[in-house]
Amino acid sequence: MTLTATVEAPPREQVFSARSASGPLAVLVDLRDGLAMGPVWRAFAWDEIQNRYRRSTLGLAWIMISHLIFVGAISIFFGGFSTAGMAGFTIYVAVGFAVFTFIIGNFVDGCDVFRSSASWIKSTSMPYSIYIYKSIARSLFPFAVQLASSLVIMVALGWRPTWTALMAIPALAIFLLNAVWIQLFFGLLAARWRDISHLVSALTRVLFFTTPILWVYEERAGLVKRFADINPLTHFLSIFRAPLLNTEPSPVSWPIVIGWTIFGWVLACAAASVMRRRLPFWV
């Protein structure tokens, strides 16, 4: 199935975020207008998801299969080194890897969010944010599948939800809020400077090993734990994973996450208010 719906750009008088507009207000209106065009970016996202797995025998099932293979392999090889036990370590890795993949995916996809839509940007007056929402919606699908497979693993290993698990819902909302500014900011930077995407790819490999995914945060001490404390991803994982594990996140995790969210939005809006006017020339 391919995308056959005709995409009609909104009337120019309704697009306050025209290519000549600048300033933080224009950025926020662009984000609002793009969000209102939900049927368009959802159709784009679903079509890209289908294209990625088209002509594959198992299709979308590969998302769950690859997640289960990774979690199973890591648990077998490293579970014995954890005091949490095999079951506890497996759950820890399953949830952590799903969250990490979604968050890091926004950095990687954000670097290509505008460049991959260059033809649309140059030929239509649609809000720039529509490409951001499309990218986030596309990454949400595998995240939902991986999270569902994690819940299956958790239930199979004896986990039972408590009211504490509901605290993962506002954490998910924070993830989505951060995903928007991440893709906006890095999308503009990578459109202007191509080296940014290579830098992000290099850093994601380092973050994978320095974020508590393959190892349990509470079991580390010294330099490793201090580095984890200054790693924002540690706290993003904590506010989502800890409630699902029926525990409380670190007392400093929520303040740090909220602080990074505010800082990120201010940074992204400031950059976009200056850079967005020249985006069609950069892509």
Mean pLDDT of 274-278: 85
For residue 205, is pLDDT > 70? yes
Closest CA to 103 of 266, 259, 279, 236: 236
pLDDT of residue 16 exceeding 60: no
Q: Mean pLDDT highest for which of 84-88, 114-118, 154-158, 182-186?
A: 182-186
| Average pLDDT of the segment spanning 237-262 | 92
**pLDDT digits over 54-103, tens only?**
766 666 778 888 888 888 888 888 877 777 788 888 889 999 999 999 99
Confidence band, pLDDT 50/70/90 cuts, at residue 2: very low
Q: Distances in Å between the alpha carbon of 96 and those of 36, 174, 191, 247, 280? A: 32, 16, 30, 14, 37
Q: Average per-residue pLDDT in the chain?
A: 84
Query: How much is the pLDDT for 221?
Result: 78
Q: How confident is the model at residue 188 (pLDDT cuts 50, 70, 90)?
A: very high
- At 126 the pLDDT is 84
**For residue 161, which phi and psi values (nearest 5 degrees)?**
-70, 150
Instruction: Tell me what the mean pLDDT of segment 37-52 comes to.
Output: 85
pLDDT at 58: 66
**pLDDT score for 4:** 44
Q: Is pLDDT larger for residue 58 or for residue 107? A: 107
List the domain boundaries for the chain.
20-282
Percent of the chain with pLDDT over 70: 90
Above 80 in pLDDT, residue 8? no
- List the structure tokens of 14: 């309704």
Q: What is the mean pLDDT of residues 250-274?
A: 93
Q: For 43-51, which contacts have Cβ atoms below 8 Å and span 24 or more sequence positions?
A: 43/3, 43/5, 43/7, 44/3, 44/130, 44/134, 45/134, 45/135, 45/137, 45/138, 45/141, 46/3, 46/137, 47/1, 47/2, 47/3, 48/134, 48/138, 49/138, 49/141, 50/1, 50/2, 51/2
Residue 71 CA to residue 46 CA, distance in Å, equals: 26
pLDDT confidence tier of residue 15, bands split at 50, 70 and 90? very low
Going along the chain, which residue ranges are E strands? none
pLDDT at 197 over 70: yes
Rounded to two decimals, the pTM is 0.85
Q: Is the pLDDT of residue 20 over 70?
A: no
- 200 has a pLDDT exceeding 70: yes
Q: Is the pLDDT of residue 14 over 70?
A: no
